[in-house]
Each structure stands twice: as C-alpha cells, then as structure tokens.
Amino acid sequence: MAGVSALGAMVLTALPASADPATPEPDLTVVPDAAFQACLNGYLGQPADASVTAVQLGGVTGYVDCSGKDLGSIAGAEYLTGATGLDLSSNPIADISPLNGLVNLATLFIDNTQVTDLSPLTSLTGLRVLMLGTLPTNDVSVPANLPVYWGTDMDDLVATTQVGSWVTLPTYDFDCVDGDPCPADTARTWSVQSGGAMIDGSKAMVTSSGTTVLTWSDGYEPGGSGTLTITASVSCNGFTDVSVSDWFYDPVCWLTDNGLTKGSNPAGTMFSPNVAVTRGQMAAFLYRVAGSPTVTLPATSPFTDVATTNGFYKEIVWLQQERITTGTNPAGTLFSPNDAVTRGQVAAFLQRLATTKLPCATYTDAIGC
C-alpha cells in the first residue's frame, strides 16, 4: 500500500468546491464523530479537538487518509467537495451516504468496514478507482454496473444487471487498484462456468436472462479462485422473444426506451419481431415518433373500414388529418388497417412525416429542422 501512503502524504491545496450541499453557519462544527474530527484536523493544521466547519472542509483537496482511525461516522464528509481521494478503510463505519454527490472524488477505499448499502456510489460520477475489500455484503451490483476500476479480496460475489449490459469485473487485490494494470502473471483470469456471457478483459456482457456464474483464478494467490454470480433480467421492456444475440436487439431496445412500442400482446411480453407490421400498427409507430400529439377525434370515422372503436382510431385519424396518409383507394375512403404495410407505403409515410411532423428538438436531422 506504499502508493496509498504516498497519496496520503500529498500537500492539500484549496480548489473551488464543485458540489453545493446546504452550508451551515460558518463557525458551526459539522463533524460530530471525534475520531473523524481528529483525522480531518490533521489536514487542516488544527488541534485534534478543534471545531471543523463546512467552509474549512470545502477547501480541502487531494487525498484524505482516515484509514484505521476507529471512525464510527463520516457525517460531515459531504463538505469535502474538493477532495479527489478518500481512504476510509478499516473503520467500523456502516453509512457512506455523506459521500453522495462528491463528484470530484476519483479514488475511494472502504474495505474492511461495515458498509452494506453501496448505492451512494452511483452519484460519484468522477469515481475511477474503488476498493471494497471485506464487507458484510457480497452484493457488488453497484460497482459492477459502474465504469470504475475496482478491487476486492472477497472470493464469492453476487450482482444483478440487465441482459446486454456490460459488467465491470473486480481485480484480485489491493495492489491492482492504484491505477496500474495488474502484472501479467498475477492478473485475474475470468471464465464462464454456467449461463451466458461474453468476457472482454476486465468486463463481461451477460447474454442470457437468469443466472450466470463467472469464475476467476489468479497467479498472485496460489490456488486463489472465486465466483461472481450474476442475475440478469431481460431489458427491452421484458420481451421474451427478443434476445441480446438478435441483430435487431438494439433497435428494439431503442423503440422501448423511447416509448414507441408496447409489445404485440396484451401483457406486453412479446414483440413478435418476425411478424409483418399492419397499417394500423404503423400508424401507432408514426404517431408516437411524432410525440403523441393531441388529436381532435371526429364522431364519424374518415375511413369506412376504421371504426371509432378501433384500437388505433386516434393514430389513424391523426395520420389522415396531417395528410401523412391519403388512404388506400382513389376515393380516400379506405385505410386497410389490417393489411401488411408495404415497403413503398413505409417510404411514403416516413417522407411525409419527416417533412412535416418530426419534432426538431428530438430529431435534429429531420428535413426542415
């Protein structure tokens, strides 16, 4: 841990704070834990029992090492808005919520603590290096789903994610978390024991729903091995007939993420990717792409084959009112809602939509934007 000690010895200089928690009175102490107060005062150049104010903490920058100080609470840490590194390891702390919002924090050590809730880490947008070590929980879903370089000495871990998402795999030891790659002969090697996943160095993409077990081994600890058991749920609105291995997986996800499809069955569990789209369904797609605008519905349908009770009545009326459709017969009295939409018809729909109704704020490449 020589690298950490060196960091801890860095001279701290004042930088402007980037976060803005509610600031108490300038002379009001904000650190109730005596041990944490003493540690911070070491960086402020004050007696161990001197009051620590929010303004003072806002001027602290660099790496703060409070490891092994018997801290019971880190209340007040929320004002360390200029700190770039924080070592809280080997302390009986259980709550790291004061770290929430410390966007300048790039390095964090919380190994050998009593922390079970890692959710505050999701707000640390500048975090790049994280050490968890031995914790009361083996659920590493939060760091596994963050773009951070993290390590732990725990052997068997669990995490949850979504199918198709990349999971960041932990390094094997403290020495690999200083920002440098692990030595080639000691780096952790990952493989798929069961389930489905693609492994690419220090990350893996789960390709099947349910449980996937990844195993690791390394040369640093003779015989060292462990597992990461990942429970993955299907994204793309939970469609059971769309797999991450399908070439159209990302486009379908785009449709669901933008609210453009609700599925092809009442339960919304199927997309039916190989079934032709009807003209009625196409009307719904186009209407939603345009932002689902308000429609004044006539009491009498403009098309004799589209009843006012039709599930796509609003969307079809909107197409007709905006002249995106002129019907399927010369008189313009038929829409043929249950016919499969042809490629030529799709071309006409999209051209008319793009030239008149695409919201420019969302689709900046639409004609006329």
Q: How far is CA 52 from the centre of its chain?
A: 35
Highest mean pLDDT among 2-11, 247-256, 291-300: 291-300
Distances (CA, A) of 265 to 179, 247, 258, 272, 338: 49, 22, 19, 9, 16
Residues 137 and 285: their CA atoms lie apart, in Å, by: 45
Q: Which residue has the tokens 């996937």?
A: 212
Residues 327 and 335: their CA atoms lie apart, in Å, by: 5
pTM over 0.75: no
For position 294, what pLDDT does the model report? 93
> b/e for 167-199, b at 16 or more Cβ within 10 A?
bbbbbbbbbbbbeeebeeebbbebebeebbbee
For position 216, what pLDDT does the model report? 85
| Lowest model confidence (mean pLDDT) among 8-17, 63-72, 86-95 | 8-17
Q: Which helix (H) or strand (E) holds 348?
A: helix 343-356
Average pLDDT of the residues in 156-160: 90
Of 11 and 340, more confident: 340
Average pLDDT of the residues in 269-296: 93
Indicate whether 364 pLDDT > 90: no
Cα radius of gyration (the chain): 28
Q: Select from 29, 21, 120, 13 the least CA-distant residue to 63.
A: 13
Domain range list for the chain: 1-127, 276-356
For position 245, what pLDDT does the model report? 74
Architecture in CATH of 1-127: Alpha-Beta Horseshoe (3.80)
Highest mean pLDDT among 19-28, 150-159, 165-174: 150-159
Q: What's 333's DSSP letter? A: -
For position 90, what pLDDT does the model report? 95
| Lowest model confidence (mean pLDDT) among 213-227, 322-336, 353-367 | 353-367
Q: For residue 360, give the amino acid letter.
A: C
Tens of pLDDT, residue by residue over 34-60, are 999 999 999 999 999 999 999 999 999
Q: Select from 165, 145, 174, 175 the least CA-distant residue to 157.
A: 145
Angle at which helix 279-289 crosses helix 313-321, to 10 degrees, equals 70
Query: Are the CB atoms for 295 and 318 separated by under 8 Å?
Result: yes
Query: Are the CB atoms for 123 and 145 separated by under 8 Å?
Result: no
